[in-house]
Structure 1
């Protein structure tokens, strides 16, 4: 007899078990087999009043945010009932509460009481990898591969997605090597080994293993594309030669041809790139995927008319994600200054991944055409599906307020958003910028330091903090420089960070070095604020005519820009 869960508790228990489905990186059992095997493994256990109380206590505590009590109670229940469903719920609740240590403890119980459960082993493997306990994860992964049956190919293809988050790339490579060893004739095993080698920066091995995968299945486009990418690390010429040869043997390999065309674009071989576009269209006149691909490639060439015609063709052919296509068509209309058409395209995106971005674009365009109130109302009425979308909409509202000069309202809106989403990196970053605008340097610094704690690889957080400190305290210029140098290590070719680096060098008296960086940043992106900085340093260096020319050209393209107007007033009296 299985665990008895009567009446109201049954509803509570079922709801609890449905909160957070386990993410399964490898294929599970077939549903019918799974149900039958799970039933046979459930314990013979009656529900006692004490257990009922603990169930209610655990769920109530979790719902009220008292995570530790809720999780500890569920762990106690899992051990006492020996019911894998309870252990599963404890694991999932811990993950939802972002408590991986609790999750691992619960997953151990889950696996112990249901050693044949594929989801339990998947969860154990994922958590052990999270804690970089790869030796302990290995037997679970071996078991998962062993029971994958005819889905072994999918299992290997999903393996690196499970392992990629581990910081120990060399150890991951060795683990994947060991897991792949029993499958020498499986292309996917070599593919997984190649990917792991790539992440471990063992590029020769990555190429060797991808060649083995392609030798076992020569028509496998994904392997061909990855082999080309590995070759491109050494030189684009080698990759181009490889793709050219592969496409002669497999002329209908559309994805490979698209990758080839993109590589030709990177090499500025526009003639050959267009030739590939034409082949794609000629050989696939009724393929909406090809029409979209050619549209995207044409966008990269800034050939908006060709892109537009292909996107419209994709819609006619019934492309599977029309919202995405309409979003791109809106962007093209915007580029062509066809604002009414752009508004119509954005408004026509009613669902899909581009729904929120399209509606944000719609609201911004409304605002920039003198209809800010309407734009704000549109944003405020948008249905949001999750916290990420909620943050996106709040940031868009704040942008409209900032563009209208309502900096304090923007700050208040972002602060209100952070009350609900205190760890949102996007909201923290945006409020920091808003705080700086209204003279709240302490909040700017507080938000950016918190963001760096949450996302230590956030280059723009280091940059904004360094720049903000430099603007508000001459005494802290060395600290500002150190922060910006951290940013440049994380993102070495970002023009905004290079601009900050040049500006701080200038502020510290190293004018020549500052000027060099600012020229580099401006050449990469003639942004009005970069133009303001570059012009000031040129002026101070006595190159006033060049400074005026840069400022005036930037102001023509960005009329009303506060940074430009401010610096021109200070120097061009």
Structure 2
């Protein structure tokens, strides 16, 4: 990965050199001494020839994209200069290069040299957590909390996001509980313990702690929403009752009402959900946030006219992220097959978080109306500012190639992308799928196993690997185990249910297979799920029902290869 440092090399050299204060016999004026009070003592260090050479070497290596030399050089400088600014620089370079081991070493030096630096402690604590060294992270976290002052509430709210990457959730829970112990009257401390308990699957404790948080701060909506979600794990009825009671006491709690409406939708209580929409709109006619929220809820109900009306109203009211709203409007028109209008909305997104996704959608629609070359040109013309956007555009181009039948070209493009971004999860996942399409099941398995190693909570990686093994080998028990892991991570995912049903069918468990496939098809009438469901129904002898499933899917997906080949196989 190339870490570009702006400016000419001489300026880089001077900037690097300026980080080490030259030795001087001139005494500082008292005002300067006062200004430096409380700061870490910086070393009085001669700028030697070897140091100058190392600074030049490190910066030149960065310019050339040789992060290994840059990291090694700056680590050496941090140790020799004992300057916290150099240690910070070494840490940042290692983190940008995704090299956690040298980053940890550099961060330890940085925190040692600048013990009052919040940034140093935060970085070191996060790295120690990622290495599962929670005992070592604890004193740093305690000091961060103790020094937070009036921001202690925010510090606790950020605590679990800092710890979330640690895979040992029980140990993490115990750590958070210990960190919160000195703050029994702080609602955010109880909130943090509740979240950690939830991740550790200690649901009773999660509920108890969230109740304590809400008791200390009854009007706190986020705590109310989380309490409802915890209750919903066991009983939607309990959660609905809780939300109803809470909204009686706090009728202006818009976010809670939106969450309540979503839960009503999941229970298919559409009339009551609409009442909540109406109340939100009546009480907040000029609130752009409410207009967007109701628009999203209307989309879930597939009431696209209502959704479109609310999104347009949000734009009139000056919603803070107009690009996002325009993106949603593009999506509505795409779903209602108003392709030209959808393209206009996507094209109108000129900035913001949805800029690249909107332009990708525009390019895909260009391709689907027979203008693939224009779509590719549009993707190539887009400016990128980070690795994520680079990966998004590579994946989008690969999608266009796949949709045109260019599986080999898509595979080659993704392989090229992985040379630039070797551990990028989305690229690994997409190349695995492309590899499967061209018969490279070994690369598919290799990429998905690497992805699982990088992201052990990636449900679709387990699912894709399990499905791939079921399709291209006789390793059905292993495939089943992988897909069962996926369904635990994402219990309501219809595509994982489809895989689970399909593997059970392949193993001869027809009734179990049929049950999962019916659930999956009920959640989303995907053509490939329809193909699988129809096949199981046909094999079981209910050929008329199988034909109905296939024909209904064929109306909306007349060109789906899997569906067509399955129908051809049985309906001879």
TM-score for both structures, normalised by structure 1 = 0.88
* Structure 2 counterparts to residues 279-358 of structure 1, below 5 A: 279-358=279-358
Q: Quick check: 1:439 aligned with 2:443?
A: no
Quote how far apart the aligned CAs of 1:566 are. 2.0
Quote how far apart the aligned CAs of 1:292 are. 0.8
Relative distance call for 1:244 and 1:368 in structure 2 (3 A) is same
Q: Quick check: 1:225 aligned with 2:225?
A: yes
2:15 corresponds to which residue?
A: 11
1:548 corresponds to which residue?
A: 547
1:559 corresponds to which residue?
A: 558
Relative distance call for 1:447 and 1:35 in structure 2 (3 A) is farther
User: Per the alignment, in what secondary structure is the counterpart of residue 41 of structure 1?
Assistant: coil
Q: For residues 414 and 339 of structure 1, what CA distance do their matches in structure 2 show?
A: 28
1:454 corresponds to which residue?
A: 454
Deviation by residue 1:459-489 (Cα, 9 ceiling, x = unmatched): 333333333344334x444544444444344
User: Per the alignment, in what secondary structure is the counterpart of residue 196 of structure 1?
Assistant: helix
1:525 corresponds to which residue?
A: 524
Gaps of 5+ in 1: 1-5, 17-31
1:213 corresponds to which residue?
A: 213
Quote how far apart the aligned CAs of 1:49 are. 0.8
Q: For residues 431 and 307 of structure 1, what CA distance do their matches in structure 2 show?
A: 36
- Residue pair 2:39, 2:116 contacting (<8 A) in 1 also: no
1:120 corresponds to which residue?
A: 120
1:539 corresponds to which residue?
A: 538
Relative distance call for 1:470 and 1:211 in structure 2 (3 A) is closer
Relative distance call for 1:248 and 1:366 in structure 2 (3 A) is same
* Structure 2 counterparts to residues 13-52 of structure 1, below 5 A: 36-37=36-37, 41-52=41-52
- Residue pair 2:291, 2:314 contacting (<8 A) in 1 also: yes
Quote how far apart the aligned CAs of 1:503 are. 3.3
Instruction: After superposing the two structures, state which structure 1 stretch, 555-564 or 229-238, moved more.
Output: 229-238
Deviation by residue 1:527-565 (Cα, 9 ceiling, x = unmatched): 222222333344344443333333232222211222222
Deviation by residue 1:238-266 (Cα, 9 ceiling, x = unmatched): 32222222222222222222222222222
Gaps of 5+ in 2: 1-9, 21-31
Q: For residues 363 and 314 of structure 2, what CA distance do their matches in structure 1 show?
A: 26
Q: For residues 297 and 146 of structure 1, what CA distance do their matches in structure 2 show?
A: 42
Relative distance call for 1:38 and 1:470 in structure 2 (3 A) is same
Q: For residues 69 and 535 of structure 2, what CA distance do their matches in structure 1 show?
A: 59
Relative distance call for 1:78 and 1:329 in structure 2 (3 A) is same
- Residue pair 2:156, 2:188 contacting (<8 A) in 1 also: yes
Q: For residues 462 and 185 of structure 1, what CA distance do their matches in structure 2 show?
A: 43
1:499 corresponds to which residue?
A: 498
Q: For residues 483 and 205 of structure 1, what CA distance do their matches in structure 2 show?
A: 30
Quote how far apart the aligned CAs of 1:312 are. 0.7
Q: For residues 180 and 469 of structure 1, what CA distance do their matches in structure 2 show?
A: 46
Q: For residues 545 and 323 of structure 1, what CA distance do their matches in structure 2 show?
A: 47
1:148 corresponds to which residue?
A: 148
Instruction: After superposing the two structures, state which structure 1 stretch, 301-310 or 136-145, moved more.
Output: 136-145
Q: For residues 382 and 428 of structure 2, what CA distance do their matches in structure 1 show?
A: 22
Q: For residues 560 and 34 of structure 2, what CA distance do their matches in structure 1 show?
A: 63
* Structure 2 counterparts to residues 232-271 of structure 1, below 5 A: 232-271=232-271
Q: For residues 485 and 523 of structure 2, what CA distance do their matches in structure 1 show?
A: 20
Deviation by residue 1:314-373 (Cα, 9 ceiling, x = unmatched): 100000000111111111112222222111111111111111111111122222222222
User: Per the alignment, in what secondary structure is the counterpart of residue 161 of structure 1?
Assistant: helix
Q: For residues 173 and 534 of structure 1, what CA distance do their matches in structure 2 show?
A: 42
Relative distance call for 1:339 and 1:506 in structure 2 (3 A) is same
2:107 corresponds to which residue?
A: 107
1:189 corresponds to which residue?
A: 189
Q: Quick check: 1:572 aligned with 2:567?
A: no
RMSD of aligned residue pairs (Cα, Å): 2.8
Relative distance call for 1:244 and 1:479 in structure 2 (3 A) is closer
Q: For residues 233 and 477 of structure 1, what CA distance do their matches in structure 2 show?
A: 32
2:164 corresponds to which residue?
A: 164
Quote how far apart the aligned CAs of 1:65 are. 5.4
Deviation by residue 1:401-420 (Cα, 9 ceiling, x = unmatched): 22222323322322332232
1:377 corresponds to which residue?
A: 377
